Amino acid sequence: MGKKKQRKVRADLRKNRNVRTRSNDLTREFASDEESVADLASGQSVSGKGDLTRKRTVADAEIDEEGLVSPAVDTSVCSEGRVLRVQGLVSMVQFADGNVRQCATRRLLKTLSTDQRHVVAAGDRVWVRPSGADEGIIERVEPRKGVLSRNSRGRQHVLVTNVDQLLIVTSAAQPRLKPNLLDRYLVTAERAQIEPVICINKVDLIDRGELQPLIGVYSQLGYRVLQVSATEGWGMTEFRSILKGRSSVLTGQSGVGKSSLLNIIDPELALRVQQVSAESEKGKHTTTTSELIPLSMGGFVIDTPGIRQFRLWDVVPEEVAGFFRDLRPYVSHCRYPDCTHTHEEPCAVKDAVAEGAIDFRRYESYLQIHAGDDA
């Protein structure tokens, strides 16, 4: 991503760093309306400068096309590395020589206003100022690409960054396959321009013929679909070849077997696995944080915590149809330019569903995502 250099950048600060300022005409307000005094917020600063207190000038900084501020760093002192994982306030960063340091994040980066829940995420390329034998301070986060995010209470929860492909791991059974959740990941991949691969694990537990209608729908849309079994070892050669030499992220529900699949292709990882509950058919969280894992065969893979709900980030209802490969060709043929494809008549998308050109289940996923419902 291109950057425009600036000597000084006026940056917004997080709201929790602000002190609410007191109005400077309290006497006049008191004289005009005594009852309004009771409504004034307590503990306000008398000397604040209004909106000016919510900004800070950052010298020798850069601002990218998305408005994110990146402070300049002294490359003679700092070293570039990649974040393996983030645990609380500490980020584990690996450098080109293989060394790993426990790094805190520079206060300025944590103070700058952002929609992100955390400033640093697994996969980030960062500049670190060494401190001591095995510690350091993250001075700057490089611009990202291939970002997988979800909506977490109205804020951006960045799961991983700088990945080439997204392996959406689901299971044929235990837990059951959730097509709507699968569609949400596909929309996110389209939005982030990450190559998606659908990986259906535990196919040994069912008659594989039952999956063919579903696989046919996604294959016709151009998505690559793998059928694998971590228990029986089916499909592992193709699974391994997809990961080799690339930066990949594995995501999906808890219990679908992400860690088990990684253990098979690289036994040295020895990732923890647990059984799925027989009563609820829900998996237990064995992976608690996203972690960048170097593979012995080359490349990196990021194992993410299992997710039971996946709310889309930065996708407005009007954009959803454009991220569905099967709906997209029909959108421009609707009578109304602002057609939502939900209730309007006539509607080219709805007509295509009625004629069987668009799979009805996929259309139901569209309706649910457009309405903002959870998976």
pLDDT in tens, the chain (375 residues): 445 444 565 656 655 544 455 555 655 655 555 554 445 444 444 444 444 456 666 656 666 555 566 778 888 999 999 999 998 889 999 999 999 999 999 988 887 756 666 789 999 999 999 998 899 999 999 988 999 988 887 788 888 999 999 999 999 999 999 999 999 999 999 999 999 999 999 999 999 999 999 999 999 999 999 999 999 999 999 999 999 999 999 998 888 999 899 999 988 887 776 555 445 444 444 556 888 998 888 899 988 876 666 778 888 999 999 999 999 999 999 999 999 999 999 999 999 999 999 999 999 999 999 998 765
Task: Please name the residues in contact with 18: beta carbons below 8 A apart, sequence gap of 6 or more.
Answer: 53, 54
Q: Hey, what are 328's tokens?
A: 């997209």
Write down the pLDDT at residue 256: 92
Q: Which residues belong to the annotated binding site for GTP?
A: 201-204, 252-260
Domain boundaries, the chain: 3-34+43-70, 71-141, 160-303, 317-370
DSSP of 331-365: HTTSSSTT--SSS-SS-HHHHHHHTTSS-HHHHHH
For the annotated binding site for Zn(2+), the residues are: 334, 339, 341, 347
Whole-model pTM: value is 0.78
Q: Which amino acid is located at 11 in the chain?
A: A
Annotated binding site: 201-204, 252-260, 334, 339, 341, 347
CATH class of the 160-303 domain in this structure: alpha beta
| Cα separation values, 17 from 52, 88, 111, 191, Å | 12, 20, 7, 32
Other Cβ atoms less than 10 A from the Cβ of 92: the count is 18
Asked if the domains 160-303 and 317-370 are classified in one and the same CATH topology, the answer is no
pLDDT at 19: 47
CATH code given to domain 71-141? 2.40.50.140
CATH of 317-370, one of 3.40.190.10, 3.90.550.10, 1.10.3720.10, 1.10.40.50: 1.10.40.50
Q: What is the pLDDT of residue 62?
A: 67
The DSSP 8-state label assigned to residue 293 in this structure reads E
